[in-house]
Amino acid sequence: MGAILRYLSQRFTMVTPQAKATLNDIGTEELAHLEMMGTIVSQLTQGLTDKQVREAGLEAYYVGHGLGVYPASAAGVPFTAAYIQSKGDPICDLYEDLAAEQKALATYNYLLDLTNDPDVIAPLKFLREREIVHFQRFGEALDIVRDYLKEERVFSIKKPDCMM
């Protein structure tokens, strides 16, 4: 029984100090990024007139939230904890984290496509760079956890000769 519990506690928690530190660091930074995005939205909407709200297509948002910053998707779907995935398996959860970083990177690219405001572009580019760093750090954590758990690296197969 002790061996089973020890296995489960190693298998289903973030099992190494390095991986825990990575999650703590990135999680803390992501909260700061949320604040940065909220500040950008606040600065862009501060003092908008009724006419500007209508021209920007923000009537529905304005009715629901005034000019306050409300965390929602571009389609108006409010942020919920359902967006945060956790399976309780460190390998699975780290893949989820990697996917989240890549999706955030794509979102910043799309946002950059839609603006020509240098005061918006600069912070968006900074945030986009951080997603790349986060992706790399989660990848390192995944390697560390795999080594710790002695799991096979599914994607670390030898390349065929034709691809060398």
Interacting residues toward Fe ion by CB under 5 A: 101, 131, 134
Q: For residues 86 and 93, is the Cβ–Cβ distance under 8 A? A: yes
Query: Cβ-closest residue to Fe ion?
Result: 134
Q: Minimum distance between the CB of residue 97 and Fe ion, rounded to whole angstroms? A: 8
- In terms of phi and psi (left: phi > 0; alpha: psi -120 to 50; beta: otherwise), the region of 47 is left
Q: Which of 38, 48 has the CB closer to Fe ion?
A: 38
Q: Which of 93, 101 has the CB closer to Fe ion?
A: 101
Q: Which of 93, 131 has the CB closer to Fe ion?
A: 131
- Rounded Cα distance between 13 and 22, Å, is 14
- Rounded Cα distance between 34 and 104, Å, is 12
| Tokens describing residue 150 | 């002695």
Nearest residue to 60 via CA among 47, 46, 74, 39: 74
Q: Which of 45, 142 has the CB closer to Fe ion?
A: 142
Q: Minimum distance between the CB of residue 22 and Fe ion, rounded to whole angstroms? A: 11
Q: Minimum distance between the CB of residue 43 and Fe ion, rounded to whole angstroms? A: 22
Q: Minimum distance between the CB of residue 134 and Fe ion, rounded to whole angstroms? A: 4
